[in-house]
Amino acid sequence: MIAARLHAYGRLPVVEEVPDPPAPQAGEVVVRVAGAGLCRTDLHVLDGVFADVLARMAPERAGDGDRVGRLRGFPGHPAFLRRPFGPGWALVGDAGYVKDPLTAHGITDALRDAELLARAAVDGSPAAFAGYEAQRDVLARPLLDVAERIAAYEWDLTDIEGLLRAESAAMRPEVAVVRGFDEPMRAPAAA
């Protein structure tokens, strides 16, 4: 299969052929991604690379679409959390809540939530999915709160220093959880 892979920080992604993943073993989950996108800030950072990646990975989509209206900026929206799971569905990252993108923390949220969700799915119990929601909320709420305060633009240079320190402090519990992902998932014991 074809994948866009980032091999080193500060380098552009490389589109290359990679082996298909093996069939999942006990305690593993395969997640099918039906679609993905990049926000405008990602497109700016990639500076045109996205078009090349898209042309190689999904040539049937490259060049598709015509702009039919004016481009609009993000006017802001109050942050909120959605319920992140239900029968046959689950949400990760910004699909599970709204947070102003100004802090550029979205991909971290998505990857964190994907791992937490995968661990809940391996367990498969309602309690595991409720635990996913609870842990996601505990980690996300402080980041949502500080993002709201930063995005309000009601600060001066002294205030923003404190807000950025608050954002850093809000990330510490998340970093501790992500570091724990090095521990392998364990399938639940057979009943």
SS3 content of the chain, % helix, strand, coil (to 5): 50, 10, 45
Under the banding of pLDDT at 50, 70 and 90, the label for residue 132 is very high
Count of CA atoms in the C-beta half-sphere (13 A) of 45: 11
Going from N- to C-terminal start, the domains of the chain cover 1-66, 76-191
What are 79-102's pLDDT values in tens digits? Answer: 889 999 999 899 998 888 888 877
Q: Is the distance from CB of 107 to CB of 80 less than 8 angstroms?
A: no
Sign, Cα dihedral of 39, 103, 12, 9: negative
Q: From CA 43, how far away is CA 110, in angstroms rounded?
A: 18
Diameter of the chain by CA atoms? Answer: 59
- Please report which helix (H) or strand (E) contains residue 45, including its range: helix 40-46
Identify any residues that bridge with 2 across adjacent strands, giving them in sequence order. Answer: 17
Q: From CA 43, how far away is CA 41, in angstroms rounded?
A: 5
**In degrees, to the nearest 5, what angle opens at C-alpha 99 toward C-alphas 114 and 40?**
85
What are 36-79's pLDDT values in tens digits? Answer: 555 544 544 444 555 666 676 667 766 665 556 654 555 567 88
* Cα separation values, 17 from 14, 34, 57, Å: 10, 19, 10
Q: What value does the mean pLDDT take over residues 143-165?
A: 88
pTM of the model: 0.61
